[in-house]
Amino acid sequence: MSTTDEAVTVEKAGGGLPPLKSDQGLFEQVVRGHQFADEWDARYPAQGQMAADAPPGYITLFTDFFGDDNFRLPATHFLGNILQYYTFYISQLSPMGMVRIRHFKFVCRSQGEEPTVDKFRTFYQLQSKLGFFFFRSS
């Protein structure tokens, strides 16, 4: 993948990765603790299922996003703009990638600025490892 004004080399998502280890108890804790709406029909993945295996109409969110990454639903427009600009799905974003996005947003807001993709690109470059995307400081 490359953008028009910056060359970014990334690996293709997937690549035969083993399924991520997860914990149903933690999943249920996140669903309750963050008051997921019933109509969201949050589901714990079946054994052996990978992030890319979400059923049609569903997305994959990692429980790590809700802990250290301070992710909340509904997602912000800024996050949506980042995903749209770089053309990948939230299930392809590493937890550390989410940390960078959230941190950038908090810093902008603390300075009275609105976070934008153009401002974000000034400080971070898209990277990929093992099929997941993250951002490295420029």
Assess whether pLDDT exceeds 60 at residue 7.
no
The answer, yes or no, to whether residue 135 has pLDDT greater than 50, is yes
Dihedral in degrees, nearest 10, Cα atoms 122, 123, 126, 130:
180
Helical residues (DSSP H) of the chain, grouped into ranges: 24-33, 63-66, 77-86, 95-110, 117-123
Long-range contacts of 33-36 (CB under 8 A, 24+ apart): 33/66, 34/66, 34/72, 34/73, 36/73
Encoding tokens for residue 33? 């603790």
Q: How confident is the model at residue 107 (pLDDT cuts 50, 70, 90)?
A: very high
**Report field, pTM of the whole predicted structure over 0.85:** no
pLDDT-derived band at 6, boundaries 50, 70, 90: very low
How far apart (Å, rounded) are the C-alpha atoms in residues 75 and 122?
Answer: 22
pLDDT category at 8 given cuts 50, 70, 90 is very low
Residue 105 has pLDDT above 90, yes or no: yes
pLDDT in tens, 39-63: 999 998 888 777 777 788 888 888 8
Q: What is the pLDDT of residue 12?
A: 44
* Angle, alpha carbons 41-47-52 (nearest 5°): 65
Secondary structure of residue 119 in the 3-state scheme: helix
